[in-house]
Structure 1
């Protein structure tokens, strides 16, 4: 009762307060004073740099030509150099903010010997950085890199590369044993920051010359390979700190494959590749600087800034309160709120597990309060948050990655995603509604919920989302549309208590800098895997394997592709999961004759649902941590609730009209019958039909009718309707007879 009273005493009965605040990770440092100011300034400069660079606004342009700093190039920056700076900035921020190990209460500092060991490593790192600047000066002064300086190879190996490797490798290893307090910088992480700068300065210097064309050949400077080795190690270490071991293990397996592939049999066999050749090319647009970093340095960082502005202006709280006002009174209300709120938030923030933590901290306890078991409460939130990644127009940045990889216009991708997204969320809605009906649940009381009238009066807070959608479909570039939406988020905040003044804008850029670290790290790490796939040719050989399977059964080939996409996506954020799966699986599907858009949507959906697929279900594990449930049981429950996501890709494979391809009449008919089929499937899975529990035979019949309805053919639709109608009549008769008998 006290909790109910406290809820009612909140201003305007608002439930959501700070739902999109960033969680405090176990290894995140919490600075105060000058340390906090330094890190905040770096984060702000990093995020603002991207916003200015993407819109082509440089120092010279902003000051009308009055300020022109020679060593700061005006925008636009050359593409490769921009991506190198993009990755380097995230690495610097990440090593300053995230410790190599988690912080524990009462933790004792590491021994003085470990801290002192950082100083010789720091000297090595600074020496390597100095040599990188020396090489830059040599090239800037017009020296013949391979001619005048006969000692260049010696300098690159022993005066640049060796100290860099020593500083990087030694600091990574020692940082695992270097216990620090949350409020202090770790000395070994300073060394990693210096190593990051040494890699970035050297690569920007070298790639700015004609030597870019020599990468991957015997003429490539050995320093490129040595810098790339260090850069790869730095990326993988930061990925481990911010995203766990799953992606790092997969990347390590792929890197090992590069050098043992020549000894493997069958389609796994690859030509011999020297380490110099591989690493001189992996840090180019064939790998780390390729599609994943191209998207993270443009679209993803832009929408992270947009999400940060929404967070700073408390618009995210409004989204959740609006959902509670609309759906909170329905039976199992908090579960239905989770569907709407998590779909909205997940569409923007681009990570299923992060969305679970953001909205689940509110919805999961409320679901448990109205009667859902803790496993089910966590599973509903995990499934709903995962669905945000397939919700247009943003799709957690997935739409933009797909556009980058396939060359298909963004608008076509967003339109094609509408019906599959509807099918997914309608399925979850039916699943939670039937669960609530079986348990006899009721919704939340009116006095516990925000007033609908007040929420409607603030509906203008949806304006940034509407501006984004309208601008994109009017033909504006993604960057221009995202920028306009970000500006509009600041403008609409002036009609709320959380006005975006300069201090809040500064805070929004700081939030964006922090939010971007994980996704940029995993995109760069995924780029390593993409580089291995492209340089070894294993993707093409995998395509041949799918073709041979298709000779036996096309359905078997699709099932195999589904399993590989899920396996590659386990433990990875959506963007990285799709990028890797698109490199391995999608080309094989295209070779089968499947249209490009259908093939990539097929891969994308299964990469997304890997977040709720046992045994490594990242979103489900995050939800279990909030609900206090068993992680494996929660992942099994979320797999059941999100079962439609495993069916939908096969639906649009066999019926392309579900991707908006074909005449509108056929699209509407296919969409309607597919929704009805999903309804029948939910009835079969949950065992609930016509207001009563369904027997095993009824559930089996409903499942058969569901698959008939979702296959897309006119005959199968009519048969499915007939079967469903017959079951409905029989169920009504049985229910009437049971009522008469009980009377």
Structure 2
């Protein structure tokens, strides 16, 4: 036992949970370089906070649509999104190298540096030309895609230098060996190219040319700028999120131009490169729903998360979880479930959640007896569940609201029972595993004191204020802003007070944290644009309708597989955005309610993070546990198996999504929990304190499926079958690997 006079914080376990992990290709600046990137990131994040709350930068008021950035260039919706993307490109290229940094520094070939400085010339030529276009238009020039002089200038004076600098800068960056604490010359070239794209598009979209995209009247410069912007987005996505999304985006882009030669439902009409790229950098693609959400809700909640991190609330969440669940058998595994659910509310990715909490929970799980593979799998499954935890849901709820038009509060309410079912199922799986292995919990003296943790329960206030504000009818932006302010105020009651310096640091942290999600959303927008402009989504819907004529269940299973396939290796936000464009319309065509269809797609996009063979959350957990990544992903798939059943549950029983009377919702919830319990017992082979023989395990799974179906008759059949299994287990008492025997103790 601990000595009574020891300080209350003696046994706090979590320390540094809020620290951002340093990626292998992230630069670590010093001195003036650090000051420059820090100030830039802080300005970028603060600009969004001011703009979203209607603070005018040019003396005007009235919110985002009326905000003006420069005279004659109103920063309305499209332009705001262009600035949003270009700012992330600039920060991203300066902060993230094209390659991982070696342990030992290597010298840079001087020729690469010289070539990079040479490429700055055409990059700045493109910037200057774009600015000159703005003055020409301001002075009354009629801009269109037919005038020969304009076409020549856009192609050769603007487009050719821009493409040369973009392609050259990307290629040179791949071979660059600049030290980790210095900026890379090729990345400066790419930053300037991003600036050129933004200036040109804001200039042109400020005229009537916005309405000409996709027509012969569209200036050729739009298409060239869009190609450059697409390449820049895909390169930054590769740096911050890996190759998976880039490969998928490339496949879709290739499809645009080869679709006319493909058979069956894959065949698409012929599309010229000028027509396609003149439309892809509009709200039909890159500036569409994904960027709309990343430029508003997502970045706002990233700022909120950054302020929570500044007050060290992540450490508190994990310590609180240890104080509540650490004593239970297999305690650290149950802590992982609890902590990951809490952290998931402020963390945007499954893999990021794994890194934040897994560095603590995985070693402790191994210490109490879990195999390293299982320890990593539990953390991966729990962290993935954080993406379906209201109210924030890893930003997926915001994209769903944007795409469907369903109020965000309705989506958050509908997510409550499915989220509970997910975490309850993981709890059962973890508990049965601990029971089978005879594990213990952590000792009292190893854990934070609960009475100490309760004294700081006010740290939950920002999240409570967020939820209350939303349900009082405040807009998401206003509610998020109030919650951010609350995070600052609450921090004054802790040793980690957020002052002026901390506010600046929080904005800087938010700017850095936003880079990955903005790049991913923009890249997903490319795919969404291909789907919209080629019509492949509608043809996929027809395919689902054809399958449904044979079997609606078969159509749902096919939709599930496509959603998982599209989500493999992709962050949750991008996975859902892409799957929602391809799969959800087909499900709605089947007669499924839009909310149910999108939740169906969303859940499978989320669980793709733990689905072999490409499972980002599982791979991140394997890196911490030291286990084989593929074995960890298989184990996490098993632990999260209920998540693959839940979407079918709310398809067959809408009460799971809070659609029905209180009695219907209550019955659906209770029977679903019972079904999840039976399913977990069948999968783990442990039922009410005893091991279950193989045929009883099969019977438990069948019983679970009856309970999950949601009807009164099926519930009664499931209950009856469960009672029969219990009687067989208690009376006949079959042992695994042996013949039946009657009576006696285990």
TM-score between the two structures when normalised by the length of structure 1: 0.96
Q: Measured at CA, do residues 73 and 357 of structure 1 come closer, stay the same or move farther in structure 2, by a change above 3 Å?
A: farther
Structure 2 partner of 1:214: 212
In the other structure, the counterpart of 1:644 is: 642
Query: Among residues 11, 31, 42, which one is paired with 1:33 in the alignment?
Result: 31
Aligned with 2:473 (options 465, 472, 475):
475
CA contact (8 A) 1:26 1:102 kept: yes
1:418 corresponds to = 416
- Cα distance in 1 for residues equivalent to 2:680 and 2:271: 51
Task: Give matches, 1:10-159, under 5 Å.
Answer: 11-60=9-58, 72=70, 77-146=75-144, 151-159=149-157
Deviation at 1:62, TM superposition (A): 10
Equivalent residue, structure 2, for 1:703: 701
* Cα offsets for 1:3-39 (capped at 9, x unmatched): x99xx99933111111121111000000000000000
In the alignment, what sits opposite 1:269?
267
Match for residue 560 of structure 1?
558
Please list every run of 5 or more consecutive structure 2 residues that lacks an aligned counterpart in the other structure. Answer: 735-739
> Residues 432 and 686 of structure 2 are in contact (CA less than 8 Å); yes or no, is this contact kept in structure 1?
yes
**Structure-2 residue corresponding to 1:663:** 661
Which residue of 2 is the match for residue 200 of structure 1?
Answer: 198
Any idea what the Cα deviations from partners look like across 1:645-700, whole Å, max 9, x if unmatched? 00000111111111111111011011101100100000000000121111001111
In 1, the alpha carbon distance for the partners of 2:688 and 2:251 equals 51
Task: Report what 2:341 is aligned to.
Answer: 343
**In the alignment, is the contact (CA less than 8 A) between 1:614 and 1:639 conserved in 2?**
yes
2:146 and 2:217 in contact (8 A); partners too = no
Shift of 1:388: 0.7
- 2:580 corresponds in structure 1 to 582
Q: CA deviation at 1:107?
A: 3.3
Moved more, 496-505 or 137-146: 137-146
- Aligned partner of 2:319 among 317, 321, 331: 321
In the superposition, relative to structure 1, how do residues 70 and 547 fare at CA in structure 2: closer, same or farther (>3 Å)? Answer: closer
Match of 1:732 in 2: 730
Aligned match for 1:354, one of 348, 352, 356: 352
Q: For the structure 1 residues 74 and 42, does the alpha-carbon distance in structure 2 shift closer, same or farther, using more than 3 Å as the test?
A: farther
Given that residues 403 and 409 in structure 1 are in contact (C-alpha distance below 8 angstroms), is that contact kept between their aligned partners in structure 2?
yes
Which residue matches 1:245? 243
Equivalent in the alignment of 2:370: 372
Indicate the SS of the match to 2:645: helix
Distance apart, 1:742 and its partner CA: 6.9
Shift in alpha-carbon separation, 1:70–1:452, aligned structure 2, 3 A: closer
149-158 or 349-358: bigger deviation: 149-158
Quote the offset at 1:76 in angstroms: 8.3
Which string of whole-angstrom CA distances, capped at 9 and with x for unpartnered residues, describes residues 482-508 of structure 1? 000000000000000011100000000
- State the alpha-carbon separation in 1 of the partners of residues 418 and 290 from structure 2: 24
Q: What per-residue deviation string (whole Å, max 9, x for no partner) do you get for residues 42-100 of structure 1?
A: 10000000000000112355999xxxx99646998300000000000000000000000
Offset at 1:740? 7.3
Q: Which residue of 1 aligns with 2:591?
A: 593
- Cα 1:229–1:717, aligned 2, differ >3 Å: closer, same or farther? same
Give the unaligned 5+ runs of structure 1. none
Q: Which residue pairs with 2:545 in the alignment?
A: 547
> What is the TM-score when the length of structure 2 is the normalising length?
0.96
Q: Using the alignment, how far apart are the partners of 1:205 and 1:656 within structure 2?
A: 48
CA distance in 2, matches of 1:311, 1:440: 37
How much does 1:421 deviate? 0.7
- Tell me if the contact between 1:12 and 1:451 (Cα under 8 Å) persists in the aligned partners: no
Which stretch shifts more, 694-703 or 162-171?
694-703
- Structure 1 Cα separation of the partners of residues 311 and 145 of structure 2: 58
Partner of 1:633: 631
Q: Within 5 A, what are the aligned runs for 1:508-527? A: 508-527=506-525
* Residue 613 (structure 1) aligns with: 611
Label 1:537 to 1:590 Cα distance change in 2 as closer, same or farther (>3 A).
same
Q: 1:61 to 1:449 in 2, by over 3 A?
A: farther
Residues 1:189 and 2:171 aligned together: no
Cα distance change, pair 194–206 in 1 and its aligned pair in 2 (3 A): same
More displaced 10-residue stretch of structure 1: 432-441 or 144-153 = 144-153
How many residues matched?
Answer: 735
Provide the secondary structure at the position in 1 that maps to 2:709.
coil
Q: Distance in 2 between matches of 1:74 and 1:34?
A: 34
After superposition, give the CA deviation of every residue in 1:291-344 in whole Å (9 maximum; x if it has no partner). 000000000000000000000110111111111110011111111111011111
Of 434, 438, 441, which residue of structure 2 is paired with 1:436?
A: 434
Distance 1:361 1:148 in 2: 60
* Aligned-pair CA distance for 1:432: 0.3
Give 1:110 shift.
2.7
Q: Report whether the alignment pairs 1:497 with 2:495.
A: yes
Separation in 2, partners of 1:424, 1:252: 34
Work out the CA distance in 2 between the residues paired with 1:333 and 1:60.
56
Mapped to 2, the partners of 1:446 and 1:85 lie a distance apart of: 53
SS at match of 1:59: coil
Q: How does 1:155-166 map to 2 (within 5 A)?
A: 155-166=153-164
**Match for residue 386 of structure 2 among 365, 388, 392:** 388
Query: Contact 1:58–1:74 (CA<8 Å) still a contact in 2?
Result: no
Give the whole-Å Cα distance in 2 for the aligned partners of 1:147 and 1:687: 69
Cα distance between partner residues in 2 of 1:536 and 1:735:
61
Deviations 1:519-548 (A, max 9, x none): 000000000000000000000000001111
Residues 235-294 of structure 1, C-alpha deviation per residue, up to 9 Å, x if partnerless? 000000000000000000000000011111111111111101000000000000000000
C-alpha distance in structure 1 between counterparts of 2:68 and 2:390, whole Å = 43
Checking the alignment, whether the CA contact within 8 Å between 1:133 and 1:202 is kept in structure 2 is yes
Q: Which residue of 1 aligns with 2:685?
A: 687
Matched, 1:330 2:322: no
Q: In structure 2, how many angstroms separate the alpha carbons of the residues matched to 1:168 and 1:58?
A: 33
2-structure distance, mates of 1:276, 1:463 = 52
**Residue 250 to residue 652, structure 1, CA distance change in 2 (3 Å):** same
Partner of 2:721: 723
